[in-house]
Structure 1
Amino acid sequence: MDKKIGLKDAISIGIGGMVGGGIFAVLGLAVALAKGATPLAFLWAGIIAMLTAYSYAKLSKKYPENGGTVRFIHQQFGTGIFAGGINNLLWVSYIVMLALYASAFGSYATELISLSGSKEIDTRIFQTSILLIALFINYLSVKLVSEIESVAVIIKLFILIAFIGVGFYGLSLHPENLHQLSPENWESPILILSGGMVIFVAYEGFELIANSVSDLKDREKNTEKAYFGAVGFVIVLYILIAIVTVGALPFQQIANAEDYVLAKAAEPTLGQIGFTIITITALISTFSAINATVLGSGRVNYDIAEDDELPKYFCHMFWGKPVGFLITAMLSVALVNLFNLKSISTAGSAGFLLIFCIVNYIGYKKHKELDSKSYVHLLASILCLLAFITLIIQQFSENKVGVLTALGIIVFCFILEIVYKATKPKVV
């Protein structure tokens, strides 16, 4: 039986990985930082994602086996402390993403359903419950996770494109609202760049394509098309969503509804029914993203342990699946209940920018083997590093907890690897 996937399938995997919970979680944060220049912030983040996709495409074509980022790092750095620390950071960054998606789910769910009368308590109940439900589904059936994701991708793309169409119709009726997008309402360049970096997590999902390249038809011809097609589509989608959102609501209303701003942006044209439709879409999207990320992070965790960069305990089975699934979900529950959305987003973006900086560097070092342009890899690596530094410096003044969390996670991942390598029994 032919198990090969086509170009459209590979592009769908990338789009599904990116347009998950990220846009619903971080759009409000981007507007808070960049104001009228929010579309530029998304473009800036998208340019870095597109350049990094070039490195991923070339590396995926050369090393098409499953494992993606983990395998690329091993190809360059072996299985020492540095490689182990970076791979641990990849796993922990997935945990951060789970917390981000769960936070978005909780924020949108409380706008639809009241359980206790307290939004804070309801949010905690929803964001914790959805992680536990997703964990149960992953243990129940991986096939079910795939089916949920397939249906969710169609629903969320259809409704988001409809949202854009309705939004532009609303702007055509009230063209004066476009004033909010004019340069006089832009924040300073450093805040625009920082806004793009805080929301960079909304793009990171394209790396999931790496896990499917081994099954891609006409791999030589289609690998780059899959990456560039997915990232290019999502850049345009995000910029249009940002234009509609900034044009639909005054900045103060966006700030007041920061955690569920996409639903609020549907209200001016469609009223309460628009708010409800987008809220339900957000719940479906974040739920499917949580499901897929529990699966992906559990597998990454297992791969890292198999490569002897984490204790073999993580390869143990619990209820027929790696115990890493359970550990990942429990750590996400802790994270989402200890930190706010902005801190989680900063930590997630910082982790992936550093990982992508290193993957781009690997592309640069291996450009002859990859038959690729060294300057593209180098430019992408430098931009990721500069973006990481910009994010840390700018956020430190107003979001110390997020920055310290991000830096703490990075240091912890390397300390974990150093301790593990120092204490594991020596093979005689």
Structure 2
Amino acid sequence: MLAESLIKKATRHQWIPAGVRRTIKDEDMNEPSRSRRISVNGAIALGVGSMVGAGIFALMGEAAAMAGSAVWLSFLVAGIIALLTGHSFAQLGVRYPSRGGVVEYLVKAYGPGLFSGGCSILFYIAQLIGMAMIALAFGKFSAKLLDLGEADLLLWERLLGSALIVTLTALNLVGAKFVSSAQRLVVLANLAVLALFTVALSMHADVARLALETWPAARPILGSLGLTFFAFTGFAVVSNAAGDMDNPTRDLPRAMYTTIAIVLALYVALALAVTATVDEHHLTASGATLLVVVARHNFGEIGFHILLLSAILATVTCLNGGFFGATSITYTLAENGQLPSRFGQKIGMSYRGLTISALLALLMVNFLTLTTVASLGSATSLLVYSLVNFGAWRLLKGGGWHRVAILLSIVACVLAIIVWGFDTFQTSPGSFSIFLSFLVIAFAAEGLLQRYHGRRILAQEHWESS
């Protein structure tokens, strides 16, 4: 329950003082106060803001390098997978209206044992991967803005990305609030920039560039799903708002489906517009800077700098949000005994989990590339979401289209992971090995913590009967 209290406070951008312990009745968690009630429109804004950010600026080009002129199809398929998985999250959010989100659903579905604990740590690793991707994207965009050249681009990406992590960590420790205060404004500005950019690009479109004969083979298109899905992963935050809704049974599904549909339409429209306005060489060779390259080609230096600045601001606010979320997760896992207690120790205006998360993200930034971390993040998220989908199948009884949607979500996520694994094993065996290493680390860490912290692993039969 203390974890629930933490997330309550975190929602209002406040932290619980160290040592505070209080019990919250279950009915209190299901009856949101008037000051924190969230409407459908509010939940949609929260979800869209969490999904549309730094990821799309960096991932559009990385996915296009694989899928070519069919990149819009990759975003479409990834969005459909997100819609199906979003249905599971919405139904679980209605049944278990908790701000614990993924961690809560895993424990409900599989019991408080080694499996759910290892998956929770794996989910935390996915958050770290996302933070590393955003930091590397910041480094790439900043190096482009400063015109630091191509010779040492990777070095500059890592140096600038590391500098951003260190700076935001320091700001969070001293309690600076101006970054968080500007976050909503930046999200709205980015949405406006991307929407206007899409409309303006469509005026320069050459439909012939979208022709079927320009598509690559099926394998790279399917392989790009490992990147495009990562641009949708923020939708899970919508289900966390269930506890603050007046009527979550009615409002949560509406908010979830509308959020994903809006983002899906934006991503596909943007991908179509970009593909139809750039030649094949620039489409597949520009990497993470594709959108800014297209902006310069069509709108000159003004368009180039507007989009570049928008991308940089998006990375700053997204990484700040990533720190906030990672700190909440580590505090919750530390309270549950799934991470060492030092993660929950107070340091400055935050918790030690913040500094540990920053150090781990720094390691990824300086030893992995943007493409690698994006691919690993998507695969890790797909695996965790597959387990949530399967948990929904176990927990949510009944029939009808709800049951069919859950089954389809399981099949879609599992197939996406298989495709990612097959493609990555052949094209980037190093990335595949790192993914397997993360799996081993997550479950080995949970097993060691349970052994040395004296936590008892409940048998599934015992959990189901309790």
TM over 0.5: yes
Contact 1:104 1:260 in 2 (8 A): no
Give 1:281's aligned residue: 310
Structure 2 Cα separation of the partners of residues 418 and 369 of structure 1: 35
Kindly state the Cα deviation for residue 188 of structure 1 after the two structures are TM-superposed.
2.0
Give 2:30's aligned residue: none
Kindly state the Cα deviation for residue 371 of structure 1 after the two structures are TM-superposed.
9.2
Matched, 1:397 2:430: no
The one-letter code of the counterpart of 2:114 is I
Task: Find the residue that maps to 2:338 and give its secondary structure.
Answer: coil
Give 1:174's aligned residue: none
- Name which of 170, 175, 197 aligns with 1:163: 197
Structure 2 Cα separation of the partners of residues 221 and 373 of structure 1: 14
Residues 211 and 322 (structure 1 numbering): CA distance in 2 closer, same or farther, change over 3 Å?
farther
- Name which of 396, 404, 408 aligns with 2:437: 408
Give 1:42's aligned residue: 75
Task: Find the residue that maps to 1:36 and give its secondary structure.
Answer: helix
Kindly state the Cα deviation for residue 137 of structure 1 after the two structures are TM-superposed.
2.9
Kindly state the Cα deviation for residue 65 of structure 1 after the two structures are TM-superposed.
1.7
The one-letter code of the counterpart of 2:418 is I
Matched, 1:385 2:400: no
Contact 1:18 1:204 in 2 (8 A): yes
Matched, 1:198 2:231: no
Give 1:227's aligned residue: 256
- Name which of 120, 124, 132 aligns with 2:158: 124
- Name which of 256, 260, 271 aligns with 2:285: 256
Residues 323 and 45 (structure 1 numbering): CA distance in 2 closer, same or farther, change over 3 Å?
same
Kindly state the Cα deviation for residue 426 of structure 1 after the two structures are TM-superposed.
6.3
Structure 2 Cα separation of the partners of residues 344 and 360 of structure 1: 24
The one-letter code of the counterpart of 1:99 is A
Residues 216 and 328 (structure 1 numbering): CA distance in 2 closer, same or farther, change over 3 Å?
same
Contact 2:239 2:252 in 1 (8 A): no
Contact 1:342 1:402 in 2 (8 A): no
The one-letter code of the counterpart of 1:393 is F
Matched, 1:346 2:404: no
Greater mean deviation of Cα atoms: 111-120 or 317-326: 111-120
Contact 2:337 2:449 in 1 (8 A): no
Contact 1:204 1:352 in 2 (8 A): yes
Give 2:182's aligned residue: 148
Contact 2:235 2:259 in 1 (8 A): yes
Contact 1:343 1:405 in 2 (8 A): no
Structure 1 Cα separation of the partners of residues 100 and 178 of structure 2: 22
The one-letter code of the counterpart of 1:148 is A
Write the mapping of 1:186-335 to structure 2, written as runs, cut at 5 A: 186-335=215-364
Give 2:120's aligned residue: 87
The one-letter code of the counterpart of 2:246 is K
Structure 2 Cα separation of the partners of residues 301 and 159 of structure 1: 34
Contact 2:343 2:351 in 1 (8 A): yes
Give 1:357's aligned residue: 386
The one-letter code of the counterpart of 1:217 is D
Kindly state the Cα deviation for residue 119 of structure 1 after the two structures are TM-superposed.
2.7
The one-letter code of the counterpart of 1:292 is G
The one-letter code of the counterpart of 2:339 is L
TM-score, with normalisation over the residues of structure 2? 0.87
Greater mean deviation of Cα atoms: 37-46 or 337-346: 337-346
Contact 1:67 1:210 in 2 (8 A): no
Give 2:97's aligned residue: 64
Give 1:99's aligned residue: 132
Give 2:143's aligned residue: 110
Greater mean deviation of Cα atoms: 138-147 or 272-281: 138-147
Task: Find the residue that maps to 1:165 and give its secondary structure.
Answer: helix
Cα RMSD, aligned residues only: 1.9
Kindly state the Cα deviation for residue 115 of structure 1 after the two structures are TM-superposed.
6.0
Residues 359 and 144 (structure 1 numbering): CA distance in 2 closer, same or farther, change over 3 Å?
farther
Contact 2:180 2:317 in 1 (8 A): no
User: What's the CA shift string for 1:74-94, capped at 9, x where partnerless?
Assistant: 111121110010000110100
Kindly state the Cα deviation for residue 142 of structure 1 after the two structures are TM-superposed.
7.7
Structure 2 Cα separation of the partners of residues 147 and 214 of structure 1: 24
User: What's the CA shift string for 1:203-242, capped at 9, x where partnerless?
Assistant: 0001111222211233222100111111000001000111
Task: Find the residue that maps to 1:368 and give its secondary structure.
Answer: coil
- Structure 1 alignment gaps of length 5 or more: 172-176
Contact 2:169 2:358 in 1 (8 A): yes
Kindly state the Cα deviation for residue 298 of structure 1 after the two structures are TM-superposed.
1.1
The one-letter code of the counterpart of 2:271 is A
- The percent of aligned pairs where both chains have the same amino acid is 27
Structure 1 Cα separation of the partners of residues 302 and 366 of structure 2: 30
TM-score, with normalisation over the residues of structure 1? 0.94
Structure 1 Cα separation of the partners of residues 386 and 152 of structure 2: 42
Kindly state the Cα deviation for residue 342 of structure 1 after the two structures are TM-superposed.
1.5
- Name which of 27, 44, 61 aligns with 2:60: 27
Structure 2 Cα separation of the partners of residues 120 and 358 of structure 1: 35
Structure 2 Cα separation of the partners of residues 105 and 12 of structure 1: 24
Kindly state the Cα deviation for residue 144 of structure 1 after the two structures are TM-superposed.
4.0
Contact 2:66 2:284 in 1 (8 A): no
Residues 192 and 115 (structure 1 numbering): CA distance in 2 closer, same or farther, change over 3 Å?
closer
Structure 2 Cα separation of the partners of residues 189 and 121 of structure 1: 34
